[in-house]
Structure 1
Amino acid sequence: MSNSEFVQQWVKAYNDKDFDRFASMNTDDVVYTIAALGHAFTGREAFLQHIREYADGVPDRRFILDQVIVDGDLIAVEYRFEGTSSGKVAGLPPAGTVLKTSFCSVLRLRDGRIAVQTDYLGG
C-alpha cells in the first residue's frame, strides 16, 4: 500500500470508530504531540486512550481529508475535524456545541506504521 493509501485507511479507521484498526496503524512506541492543547503521549495504549476519550466527547466526530503530501516516510496530512460535543469531556465545550477545526498532522512512518505524529491545530 502506498503512503497516500495508508492515510486514506487511517482516516477511514477513525471515521468508522474502528479504534483497534486505528491503533494498529501506530508503532508500540508511537510519540504523539499536539502542543496547542498541551497533549503529549508515548506508546500506542496511551494514544488509544486519548482517542477513545475524545470519541466519547465528540461521538459524531469525523475527519474530512483535504490534502496529503508524501516525502518518503514523512507525510503531511491536512484535514478538518467536525462533530458535536457531548459535554462529557473536560476542556471541551458544553453539550450540543458544534466543533469545527482544521488540523495538519505530520506523520513519520517506521516499518509501515506511524512512529511519530505531531498535530498542528488551526481555526
Structure 2
Amino acid sequence: MTGPAECAKRLIDAYNRQDFEGLRALIVEDLDFAHFNRGFALNKRDELIATLEAFVSDYMTERHFEPAERITEHGDMVVLESWYVGTTKVDLPGFGAAGESFRLKFCSVMRFNDEGLLVEWKDYG
C-alpha cells in the first residue's frame, strides 16, 4: 500500500478538482464518514459523493482544501490539518451569507485499507 499521507493527498487533489469519478475510485463502497461539528454522518460512498456534488452545484461557487499545514501518519491512518476555503452561493450557517468567502481550519482523520482506498473519514472544524 502507498502510505496513508500519499493516499490522502490523492483524495484531496481529486476533491479540489471536483473529480467525483476519481473520488469514487479512491473510496470503498461502505464508508465510515462523519463531520462532527456539522452534525452529519454517512456510511455509503455514493451518499458522500452526492453530498459533495450538491455542495458544488447548490451551495458554493468555489471550495477547496489548501495544502495541509501538518500531516501526521500512523499505521493506516493520517491526520491532516488544513484550511478549507470557498465562497457561498446561498446563506449557509457556519460558513457565511450568500456571496461571502470563508476560511475554516479543519482537522481530517482518514484511514485507508491495504489497497489504499479510504475506509474512514472524520472531519472536525
Same fold (TM over 0.5): yes
Query: In 2, distance between residues paired with 1:106 and 1:55?
Result: 22
Q: What's the C-alpha RMSD, in Å, of the aligned pairs?
A: 1.6
Alignment deviations for residues 50-74 of structure 1 (CA, whole Å, 9 cap, x no partner): 1111223123111012221111101
Matches within 5 A, 1:1-123: 1-56=2-57, 57-64=59-66, 65-87=68-90, 91=93, 93-111=96-114, 112-121=116-125
Name stretches of at least 5 consecutive residues in structure 2 with no aligned partner.
none
Q: What is the identity percentage for the equivalent residue pairs of Structure 1 and Structure 2?
A: 23
Alignment deviations for residues 2-39 of structure 1 (CA, whole Å, 9 cap, x no partner): 32222221121111111111222111000110121111
Q: Which amino acid letter does the alignment assign opposite residue 122 of structure 2? A: T
Larger RCO, structures 1/2 (Cα 8 Å, 6+ apart): 2
Query: In 2, distance between residues paired with 1:13 and 1:47?
Result: 14
What secondary structure sits across from 1:17 in the alignment? Answer: coil
Contact 2:61 2:89 in 1 (8 A): yes
Q: Report the number of matched residues.
A: 120
What secondary structure sits across from 1:59 in the alignment? Answer: strand
What secondary structure sits across from 2:62 in the alignment? Answer: coil
Query: In 2, distance between residues paired with 1:86 and 1:10?
Result: 24
Task: Tell me the TM-score normalised to structure 2 length.
Answer: 0.87
Task: Tell me the TM-score normalised to structure 1 length.
Answer: 0.88
Query: In 1, distance between residues paired with 2:24 and 2:107?
Result: 19
